[in-house]
């Protein structure tokens, strides 16, 4: 990742700082970019010398203990500041939250830029990080596109380093973001079928925003969740009105008996869309623990996710309207399958995690859901086609 930080000096002059994550060609110090918080690449430094000594040790408890001791030493050398003038080691920053910092913490562009600004009497004004180069095999990265800092390494670190600055709210922490009310498509004594608006949680989360499950319980009493949609995704959901009905519906989801259809719009690409009009995407997904809630493609540890798709229309500006038919129910499955280079290579419009939020809301709508009624056994299908009109997207 490359980063740019807009700063202001004590005389009010505006300038720009540039940084990169990790190293470039094995070097942490490159002319034109801010230096690292601590340089582990110094060939004469303690880290390199001790690393060589540990590498020469036979495998065993002594070597493992020496490696842990060296890692702890590293986290004490990385000392970071905030706008209040406080300075802590990375170990201390994470310890405040009861955490241990992952390896590589402090080497990303954002903390480098902020630390340079603080130690040189500069006031940070605005900052952005963007990807440069080809995408890693496991992640979704497009050259020139801006991405948020990772939650595992940079989340706790930047929370401390930004203290004392007037910063905009974190868009990933936003609460209920739509004025639209849920709509009820069907109700009986066993099930409720509702349309969730984009921006509403399916079930209670870590914020105080009201979820669709809570909204339904206020109106119908006992209601139980059977599946979920991302907060940013709109569409048809089924809920159970008893534990017995919930168990039967959840079994249908687990055994892949529920039929789901999603409508989406993919962003325009730099190259022509070279995929078939219909096809299947099969990529194994795994949670990126250092950058939750992002998912990544992992052919060793990931769980297989399968999606069928059908292209509806290629619009004059290059965007693509498409239908998705997920055969599995992995988290962020459609979003990753759309954006990843081994999938369609086109993020869903408005996807702030795997693409860009420039398109407003996430253009993904669960427009159809078919399942067996948990009591009668009758096959039911519910459809809502109004989720991705231009006016609906503009008002979300």
Looking at residue 389, its pLDDT comes to 59
Does the pLDDT value for residue 172 go beyond 80? no
Does the pLDDT value for residue 61 go beyond 80? yes
Looking at residue 177, its pLDDT comes to 56
Mean pLDDT across 231-254:
96
Identify which has the larger pLDDT, 352 or 195. 195
Give me the residues paired with residue 186 across strands.
193
Residue 61 within a domain: no
Give me the residues paired with residue 278 across strands.
310
Same-domain pairing of 256 and 354? yes
Identify which has the larger pLDDT, 97 or 137. 97
Looking at residue 395, its pLDDT comes to 39
- DSSP code at position 274: -
Residue 335 within a domain: yes
State the chain's mean pLDDT as an integer: 91
Same-domain pairing of 10 and 149? yes
Mean pLDDT across 167-194:
80
Element holding 155 (H helix, E strand)? helix 154-161
- The Cα 178–Cα 234 span in angstroms is 11
Strands (E), 143-300: 183-187, 191-196, 224-225, 234-240, 259-266, 278-287, 295-297
Mean pLDDT across 19-26:
92
Residue 53 within a domain: no
Does the pLDDT value for residue 193 go beyond 60? yes
Does the pLDDT value for residue 170 go beyond 80? no
Other C-beta atoms closer than 10 Å to the C-beta of 50 total: 15
pLDDT in tens, 269-316: 888 898 999 999 999 999 988 888 889 999 999 999 999 999 999 999
Nearest to 155, CA basis, from 176, 175, 172, 139? 172
Which residues constitute the domain of residue 33?
Answer: 2-38+78-168
The total domain count for the chain is 2
Same-domain pairing of 101 and 208? no
For residue 253, is it left (φ>0), alpha (ψ between -120 and 50) or beta? Answer: alpha
Same-domain pairing of 358 and 220? yes
Residue bearing tokens 């399916």: 202
Residue 56 within a domain: no
Could you give the percent of the chain with pLDDT greater than 90?
74
- The Cα 134–Cα 355 span in angstroms is 15
Give me the residues paired with residue 103 across strands.
none
Looking at residue 233, its pLDDT comes to 94
Looking at residue 169, its pLDDT comes to 73
Confidence of residue 103 (pLDDT cuts 50, 70, 90): confident
Catalogue the active-site residues.
Answer: 230
Same-domain pairing of 131 and 201? no
Residue 65 within a domain: no
Same-domain pairing of 160 and 197? no
Query: Are residues 314 and 273 in contact, defined by beta-carbon separation less than 8 angstroms?
Result: yes
Does the pLDDT value for residue 242 go beyond 80? yes
Confidence of residue 33 (pLDDT cuts 50, 70, 90): very high
Q: Are strands 191-196 and 183-187 parallel, antiparallel or unpaired?
A: antiparallel
Mean pLDDT across 238-243:
98
Query: Which residue pairs from 226-231 have beta carbons closer than 8 angstroms and sit at least 24 positions apart in sequence?
Result: 226/250, 226/253, 227/202, 227/253, 227/258, 227/329, 228/202, 228/203, 229/196, 229/202, 229/366, 230/202, 230/332, 230/335, 230/362, 230/364, 231/198, 231/199, 231/200, 231/201, 231/202, 231/205
Q: What are phi and psi of 132, to 5 degrees?
A: -130, 130
Same-domain pairing of 255 and 133? no
Same-domain pairing of 8 and 152? yes
CB under 8 Å to 71, separation ≥6 — which residues?
103
Q: Domain end: 108, 139, 168, which one?
A: 168
For residue 26, is it left (φ>0), alpha (ψ between -120 and 50) or beta? Answer: left
Confidence of residue 138 (pLDDT cuts 50, 70, 90): confident
- DSSP code at position 289: G
CB under 8 Å to 369, separation ≥6 — which residues?
193, 235, 236, 237, 238, 258, 259, 260, 261, 381, 382
Residue 145 within a domain: yes
Looking at residue 353, its pLDDT comes to 86
Q: Domain end: 140, 168, 196, which one?
A: 168
Same-domain pairing of 131 and 194? no
Same-domain pairing of 219 and 318? yes
Same-domain pairing of 85 and 163? yes
Judged by DSSP in three states, 122 sits in: coil
> ∠ CA 75-77-78 to the nearest 5 degrees?
70
Residue 98 within a domain: yes
Looking at residue 291, its pLDDT comes to 82
Residue 47 within a domain: no
Query: Are residues 195 and 235 in contact, defined by beta-carbon separation less than 8 angstroms?
Result: yes
274 CA to centre of own chain: 26
pLDDT in tens, 352-394: 888 876 657 899 999 999 999 999 999 999 999 976 755 444 4
Q: Domain end: 168, 203, 228, which one?
A: 168
Same-domain pairing of 164 and 190? no
């Amino acid at each position: 990742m490359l980063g740019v930080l807009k700063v202001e000096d004590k005389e009010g002059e505006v300038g720009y700082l540039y940084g990169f994550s990790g190293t470039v060609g094995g070097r942490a110090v490159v002319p034109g970019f801010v230096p690292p918080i601590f340089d582990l690449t110094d060939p004469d430094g303690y880290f390199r010398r001790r690393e060589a000594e540990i590498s020469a040790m036979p495998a065993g408890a002594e070597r493992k203990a020496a490696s842990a001791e060296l890692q702890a030493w590293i986290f004490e050398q990385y000392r970071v500041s905030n706008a209040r003038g406080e300075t802590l080691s990375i170990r201390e920053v994470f310890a405040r939250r009861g955490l241990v910092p992952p390896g590589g913490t402090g080497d990303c562009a954002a903390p480098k830029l902020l630390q340079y600004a603080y130690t040189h009497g500069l006031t940070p004004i605005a900052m952005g990080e963007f990807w440069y180069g080809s995408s890693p095999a496991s992640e979704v990265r497009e050259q020139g596109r801006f991405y948020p800092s990772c939650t595992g390494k940079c989340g706790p670190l930047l929370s401390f380093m930004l203290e004392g600055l007037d910063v905009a709210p974190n868009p990933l922490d936003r609460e209920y973001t739509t004025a639209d009310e849920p709509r009820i498509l069907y109700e009986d004594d066993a099930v409720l079928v509702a349309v969730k608006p984009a921006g509403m949680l399916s079930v209670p989360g870590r914020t105080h925003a009201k979820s669709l499950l809570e909204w339904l319980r206020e109106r119908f009493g006992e209601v139980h969740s059977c599946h979920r949609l991302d907060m940013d995704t709109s569409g048809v959901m089924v809920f159970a009105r008893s534990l017995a009905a919930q168990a039967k519906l959840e079994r249908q989801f687990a055994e892949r008996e529920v039929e789901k259809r999603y409508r989406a719009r993919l962003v325009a690409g730099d190259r022509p869309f070279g995929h078939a009009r219909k096809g299947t995407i099969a990529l194994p997904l795994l949670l990126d623990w250092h950058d939750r809630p992002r998912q990544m493609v992992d052919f060793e540890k990931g769980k297989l996710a399968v999606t069928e798709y059908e292209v509806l229309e290629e619009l004059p500006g290059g965007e693509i309207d498409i239908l998705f038919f997920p055969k599995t129910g992995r988290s962020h499955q459609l979003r990753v399958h759309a954006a990843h280079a081994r999938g369609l290579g086109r993020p869903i419009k408005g996807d702030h995690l795997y693409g860009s939020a420039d398109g407003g809301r996430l253009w993904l709508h669960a427009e159809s859901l078919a399942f067996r009624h948990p009591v009668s056994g009758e096959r039911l299908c519910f459809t809502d086609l109004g989720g991705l009109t231009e006016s609906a997207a503009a008002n979300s």
